Amino acid sequence: MSGGSGPRQRVKTAKGRKVSSTRWLERQLNDPYVKKAKAEGYRSRAAYKLTELDQKFGLLKGVKAVVDLGIAPGGWSQVVRRRSPAAKIAGIDLLPTDPIDGVAILQMDFMDDAAPDALREALGADAADLVMSDMAANTVGHPQTDHLRTMALVEAGMLFATEILRPGGAYVAKVLAGGADNNLVAELKRHFTTVKHAKPPASRKDSSEWYVIAQGFKGRLRREALKAGQSPFCMLHP
């Protein structure tokens, strides 16, 4: 995407506003994705991250049921709704999310034990074609801690995906710089045919975020492992 035309807008430092806040406002005003999102009716520039991932991996082709983990403010579900108008969509987030036509939105913690069943009920479908997660843990400023907390969300999302996806389905999740660690990639490969990492152009260059894209869900592998008494996280926590 081009950087846009016209002179760069600058923001004057207001009384009581931190320099970092001024820089954030200036970046927002001059971000072509922010401008495009506003013009096209998307709630956030993040909508273009999913759009670009879909263009590369075909994530939304033929989807009939989608789960959006970390839905707020709703940009990803807006993309799904526009590209697959008939798809059932259920989303969850700790933060409040304004209603989106045709999307069931739950305001609760995805890590709550009741969340998976609540999402299944809200989806109104026996299985999903896509589980997408733009979740990230609140950062504390310690890189290793932040990485571990975010990866815990990615692992939880993966486990949920193996429980709700139909064979052939996909799971896409935000990870941090360096992508998913080796153990998680190995676990994803047990459940999915292909596992790749990507940084869509809409992700800011100075951002540490990447996405892991797992496609071709193998289906009953996890259930068979459970019946045999084997933990689905045996490779994550040997």
**Could you tell me the two tokens for 150?**
């975010």
- Residue 15 catalytic? no
Written as one string, the DSSP assignment of 54-108 is HHHH-TTTT-SEEEEET-TT-HHHHHHHHH-TT-EEEEEESS-----TTEEEEES
Catalytic residue from among 38, 49, 64, 174: 174
Q: Is residue 233 within 8 Å of residue 187, measured between CB atoms?
A: yes
d(CA 52, CA 202): 8
Helix or strand run (H / E) with residue 211: strand 210-217
Sheet with 103-107, side-by-side order of all strands: 103-107, 88-93, 65-69, 128-133, 165-175, 210-217, 192-198
* Angle formed at CA 108 by CA 105 and CA 217, multiple of 5 degrees: 70
- Check whether 68 is labelled as a binding-site residue: no
d(CA 108, CA 126): 21
Q: Is the dihedral of CA 195, 197, 202, 208 positive or negative?
A: positive
- Check whether 134 is labelled as a binding-site residue: yes
**Could you tell me the two tokens for 8?**
């760069």
Give residue for tokens 């692992």: 155
- Check whether 93 is labelled as a binding-site residue: yes
Alpha carbons within 13 angstroms on the beta-carbon side of residue 69 total: 30
Binding-site annotation, residues: 74, 76, 93, 109, 134
Binding site members for S-adenosyl-L-methionine: 74, 76, 93, 109, 134
Catalytic residues: 174
